[in-house]
């Protein structure tokens, strides 16, 4: 969908997704698919250093959703090609060379 279909939007530009209600709804739906929930009783201490947002194969989404979500591009991950929460993780986490996060 382009912004041209939304009132007050710039003609022909892709929709940025920066709609608070839509983003909150996405977050609620997508949190149901977490592999590792930082608030869960089985969360391991070492996983704090192996979260998606610090993986070299995690690419942040654009707009406000990109503050918390990105695409996994790790060819060896079961989540390759999926949108993931930055605090989730998987067994093939690969730390970024510069150690950055998000």
Please determine, for residue 40, whether its predicted confidence score (pLDDT) is greater than 80. no
* Domains along the chain with CATH numbers: 17-102 (4.10.490)
Please classify residue 90 by burial: count the beta carbons closer than 10 Å to its beta carbon, then call 0-12 exposed, 13-18 middle and 19+ buried. buried
Residue 94 CB partners (closer than 8 Å, separation 6+): 55, 56, 57, 74
What pLDDT score does 78 carry?
92
Instruction: Read off the pLDDT of residues 4-14 as tens digits, 9 standing for 90 and up.
Output: 455 545 566 77
pTM (two decimals): 0.72
Q: Looking at residue 94, what is its pLDDT?
A: 96
What percentage of the chain reaches a pLDDT higher than 90? 30
State pLDDT tens for residues 25-39: 998 898 888 787 777
């Amino acid at each position: 969908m382009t912004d041209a279909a939304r009132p007050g939007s710039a003609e022909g530009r892709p929709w940025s997704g920066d709609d608070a209600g839509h983003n909150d709804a996405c977050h609620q739906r997508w949190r149901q698919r977490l592999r590792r929930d930082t608030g869960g009783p089985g969360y391991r201490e070492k996983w704090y250093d192996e979260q998606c947002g610090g993986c070299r194969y995690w690419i942040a989404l654009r707009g406000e959703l990109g503050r918390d979500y990105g695409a996994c591009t790790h060819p060896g991950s079961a989540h390759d090609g999926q949108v993931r929460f930055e605090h989730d993780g998987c067994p093939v986490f690969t730390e970024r060379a510069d150690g950055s996060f998000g």
